[in-house]
Amino acid sequence: MHLDGIDILISEVGPRDGLQSVSSIMPTEAKKVWIKALADAGLREIEVGSFVPAKVLPQLADTAEIVTFARTIPGIQVATLVPNLKGAENAIAAGAQKITFPLSVSETHSQKNLRMTHEQAFIQIKGIVELIKSLPADKRPLFEGSLSTAFGCTLEGEVPLTKLVKVAETLIGLGCDEVGLADTTGYANPAQVKLTITEIWNAVGKDKLTGIHLHNTRGLGLANVLAALETGLTTFDSSLGGLGGCPFAPGASGNIVTEDLVFMLDSMGLRTGIDIAKLLKVREIVQAAIPAETMYGFTPDAGVPLHYVQGGHGWGLSA
């Protein structure tokens, strides 16, 4: 997808990662208002749900309807998670433009999260690649293999980098368009982020890894963004109000906060295409729809600096 006037693509995952890990169920109509408001604020990619059985995640039971709705909004790429071939079939039928298979590099986490060994997951991925190939070229979604628990696992501990690289090579070999790094558990540190990106690039090529999904579990979220940015990644997942976590990774909480991420990038002079004032207003929609849930973020509390001018002009960078 070509994005004019944007240096950094922020992929908003609140409607998926955020909602799947809170107990409140957001009404479908509120989700639609939220997603529309995100698009109006300038978000260009939104992960709107996950095609998992409703009994597993009732919060996301309306994903097909949400995808269909989101496709009516011009200018956004509609992304969803698909945990298996059946999910991919449903996602494609609903019109998803990007689908992500979350493969846990930690096999123990894979068993818990997807109830699949790696070999079983690879069979599903192969099936999804074949399904996509059978579609006319203009109907094919982008297919990302997400390397979940890439930086460590709450069930296995350290995830060896050699294993991570091997799984990345396997996913690309099976036909994924790209791999994504996901710090599902909030274990990553900036040095690890730099090393990991470099090693995966060396193995599969720079064009096969462009994005990273970070959590702020230990307060290192934005430091990890900066490390990834300096290494050369240009796509960052984040969640409005820092909603999110992983219900199957105990202790993993909170995506990085979209509002703080946008402020950091914008104040550094990078263009995100996102209007911070409008973005801050979107919080009200979410808070009203799920009032029991806590919304995080420093920029929302403190506001932008006095006389701050948005739009990637930078702050304090001129002579």
x/- letters, 31..70, toward Zn ion (CB under 5 A): ----------------------------------------
153 is catalytic: no
The residue from 19, 103, 246, 286 that is catalytic is 246
179's tokens: 């791999």
CA 294 from chain centre, in angstroms, equals: 20
Give the nearer residue to Zn ion in terms of CB position, either 17 or 259. Answer: 17
The residues in 116-145 that bind Zn ion, with binding defined as CB under 5 A, are: none
Does 178 participate in binding Zn ion (rule CB under 5 A)?
A: no
Buried b (16+ CB within 10 A) or exposed e, 224-240: bbebbbebebebbbbbb
Give the nearer residue to Zn ion in terms of CB position, either 52 or 129. Answer: 52
Residue appearing with tokens 């720079």:
206
Give the nearer residue to Zn ion in terms of CB position, either 84 or 253. Answer: 253
DSSP 105-120: SSHHHHHHHTS--HHH
Minimum distance, C-beta of residue 215 to Zn ion, in the bound complex (Å): 6
* CA 42 – CA 76 distance, rounded (Å): 9
* CA 65 – CA 116 distance, rounded (Å): 27
Stretch in the footprint of Zn ion (CB under 5 A) among 14-22, 75-83, 194-202, 261-269: 14-22
Q: Are 79 and 45 in contact (CB under 8 A)?
A: yes
CA 215 from chain centre, in angstroms, equals: 10
Give the nearer residue to Zn ion in terms of CB position, either 129 or 179. Answer: 179
Residue appearing with tokens 């801050």:
280
Residue appearing with tokens 């995506």:
255
* Binding-site member from 11, 12, 17, 204 for Zn ion (CB under 5 A): 17
* CA 115 – CA 286 distance, rounded (Å): 31
Q: How many residues touch Zn ion (CB under 5 A)?
A: 1
215's tokens: 């959590």
DSSP alpha helix (H) spans, 73-117 = 85-94, 107-113
Stretch in the footprint of Zn ion (CB under 5 A) among 17-25, 122-130, 136-144, 290-298: 17-25
Minimum distance, C-beta of residue 245 to Zn ion, in the bound complex (Å): 7
Minimum distance, C-beta of residue 214 to Zn ion, in the bound complex (Å): 8
Stretch in the footprint of Zn ion (CB under 5 A) among 13-21, 62-70, 105-113, 302-310: 13-21
Minimum distance, C-beta of residue 174 to Zn ion, in the bound complex (Å): 22
Minimum distance, C-beta of residue 72 to Zn ion, in the bound complex (Å): 27
* Interface with Zn ion (CB under 5 A): 17
Question: Looking at the annotation, which residues are catalytic?
Answer: 246
